[in-house]
Amino acid sequence: MEVRLAQHISSEAGERACAVRRNIILYDRKVKGLPVTLAGKQSGLSHEHTLKAKNRHPGPVSLRRATQGAEMIEERDIFVAMRDGTRLALDVYRPDKAGRYPVLYAAALHNKDMQGPDVADVLPPQPAHAPLWFGPIEAGNTRLFVANGYAHVIAQPRGSGKSEGHYGHEDTDHYDTIEWITHQPWCDGNVGMVGISGYAGEQWRAAEQGHPALKAIFPYDACSAYGGMFGFRDFYPGGVLHTFPYLLDVFSTVHEARGVPEPLLPEQEELWKAAMANPDFKMYQNLFNILTQKGQRTFIMFLSLIAPWETEDAIERAEARFRKIKIPFYTGSGAYAYTYKLHWLGAQNYFRSIDAPKKLLFAGPAHLERPFHQLHDEIIRWYDHWLKGIANGVMHEEPVRYWLMGANEWRTAADWPLPDTKWVRFYLCDWGRLSEDEPVAAGLAGAAALEPDVFTQMPLKKTTKVERLRYMTDPLPRDLQIVGPISLTIYAAIDKEDTNWIVILKDIGPDVSVQTAREGERSPPADLHERELTRGWLKASYRAIDENRSRPGAPFHKLTQSSIQPVNPGEVYEYKIQILATANLFKAGHRICLDITSMDVPTGTGAMTNVEYIPYHICRSETVTHWIYHDAQRPSHLLLPLISNRQLSAS
């Protein structure tokens, strides 16, 4: 996320503390007038200082711990002054042995006090389905890093946790922090970065700031590539808002203060009024509560609600940032990440767009455990090569490695999407079928072929039943390997001014049944195993496409405010829906299944849900009927990336 603040001091005599007005750029857009209480003076620090000097701080907590194969010194709550005098809190963990070491630096808005090795002493790694799986414990296994001859530095960004200042002034903070690190007697001058998710997002920002000591990064679960860390395009594909920022806010460390909501600046005030009047937002009272407070809490969610679009210049700005990053990077995500969206989309977009030594890893459907400890052998191999100069062959391997679900094994490739991908269309047909056969020409099919399929969805305030249209292939005669980005093109009409298209790709089977006229054989068995692979989303009014930036399986929607196109009820439109990339072996006897819906449901009451990274979406507050056409003039179809056996190599 790219955030900038400009301070304008105001006061209410005798009643309120000094307040600061923030000009916030989120998704490369400026939103003015969000109030926050000023915590106090900048601790009396002079702005004239040098990063090379010993930093002024109350004194770190210093301990010695035994770790695997080594003794470790830990120093906590060191305060490091930035060039403007603001002090950031950080922790240092390093080998208890004389010498200079390469440094693995981590920084994120997540609480640094949740990242230390003491947490692992009481909370061993938790699988993602466990009740004590806490997403923000992501900075990595300190003991393992230290045992392998690295120092581990974990920093808290300004305006969060124990660090001073206001989040948004950090455009040079990574540079300054790395400068401080390189002047410590225990640093050998070589720095890499570690940590996933929020820690990965900060790695891209640090790489852009360009300190020469930062030699490589490992931003796994990458965060958005367009529009900043939480940029609209990768965070909300298809323009459909979800509640992940709201669900994650329980872990927020960002300094916030609440008072009587004040008027925003005129442009934002009008956006806020429109959002307050939106019945879809008002139906979700948990989100409406955020709106009423005018950005004093959960500001990422707030800004998404009042300005749910991408700025006009976001793409050009992102492409300029891509050109600034020159250092080697190792990015990726997992099959679980289609629910997060930004991690997997961001990784692919960075990998495709940056010209530098690079690798991409696409893992399986099980989320990484917390505290984060997996992938560490690969992280250490990466940095042994780039920071220690060890010739371990990490750059002689194929650059892409992915987990092929269904086969349940690792595969490698030269690029992503895979070279020589064959794009295959599966057409939507009557009776809920998916077929490679094109629709029969209108003159030969008869008028009945023009009739659409229909479903009607009542809103969440009336039902939790998700209506759908389901399309399936026959049981496959042979294995089918689908690896890469996917898209769905539908020709459809609705009876209201907007809807959310939510489409789900599944692997169903095995199915040994036959369909005949006999009783019990007239439809596929109802108890077939279903395995969800990925999803896609598109708000109907956000259907405009940038043809120049679109690629097979990856329609590039414009998503700007000016590109929003109202829907005329009853009119048929073409919708191209991006379905997030996957890698799956559909085995012989299985079916490819596509569900088309328009709503999802929180799993709890009070609009809460069981899993933070499987957020529900903001759906329509009125009943909507949907008609989907699939004739020769309107050939609705699923576009899949087919990989032949000879192209795949096992790893």
Q: What is the largest CA-CA distance in the chain?
A: 87
**Same domain? 535 vs 632:** yes
The helix (run of H) or strand (run of E) holding residue 300 is helix 299-306
49 found inside a domain: no
The torsion angles phi and psi of 247, rounded to 5 degrees, stand at -65, -35
399 found inside a domain: no
In this prediction, residue 35 has a pLDDT band, given cuts at 50, 70 and 90, of very low
pLDDT exceeds cutoff 50 at 105: yes
Per-position DSSP letters for 477-513, written without gaps between them: SS-EEEEEEEEEEEEEEESSS--EEEEEEEEE-----
**Same domain? 247 vs 342:** no
- According to the model, what pLDDT value does residue 167 have? 85
**Same domain? 190 vs 332:** yes
297 found inside a domain: yes
Average pLDDT value for residue range 623-651: 87
In this prediction, residue 56 has a pLDDT band, given cuts at 50, 70 and 90, of very low
Domain count, the chain: 3
- According to the model, what pLDDT value does residue 610 have? 87
45 found inside a domain: no
Distance CA 306, CA 304 (A): 6
414 found inside a domain: no
The torsion angles phi and psi of 376, rounded to 5 degrees, stand at -70, -30
**Same domain? 630 vs 540:** yes
Residue-wise pLDDT tens digits, 243-282: 999 999 999 999 988 899 999 999 999 999 999 999 999 9
**Same domain? 77 vs 216:** yes
CATH number at residue 528: 2.60.120.260
Beta pairing class for 453-457 and 624-629: antiparallel
**Same domain? 191 vs 326:** yes
407 found inside a domain: no
Average pLDDT value for residue range 593-604: 97
**Same domain? 77 vs 25:** no
The torsion angles phi and psi of 107, rounded to 5 degrees, stand at -150, 140
Distance CA 351, CA 358 (A): 7
- Coil, helix or strand at residue 314: helix
The model's pTM is 0.89
**Same domain? 204 vs 325:** yes
Domain span at residue 78?
A: 61-231+313-389
Q: Which of 291, 306, 321 is the last residue of a domain?
A: 306
564 found inside a domain: yes
Residue-wise pLDDT tens digits, 161-171: 999 999 877 89
- For 157, other C-beta atoms within 10 Å of its C-beta total 27
**Same domain? 217 vs 258:** no
**Same domain? 199 vs 75:** yes
**Same domain? 455 vs 560:** yes
Q: Which of 340, 365, 389 is the last residue of a domain?
A: 389
CATH number at residue 153: 3.40.50.1820
More confident residue, 430 or 35: 430
**Same domain? 468 vs 603:** yes
376 found inside a domain: yes
Residue-wise pLDDT tens digits, 193-223: 999 999 999 999 999 999 999 999 999 999 9
- Coil, helix or strand at residue 280: helix
Q: Which of 306, 323, 350 is the last residue of a domain?
A: 306
In this prediction, residue 554 has a pLDDT band, given cuts at 50, 70 and 90, of very high
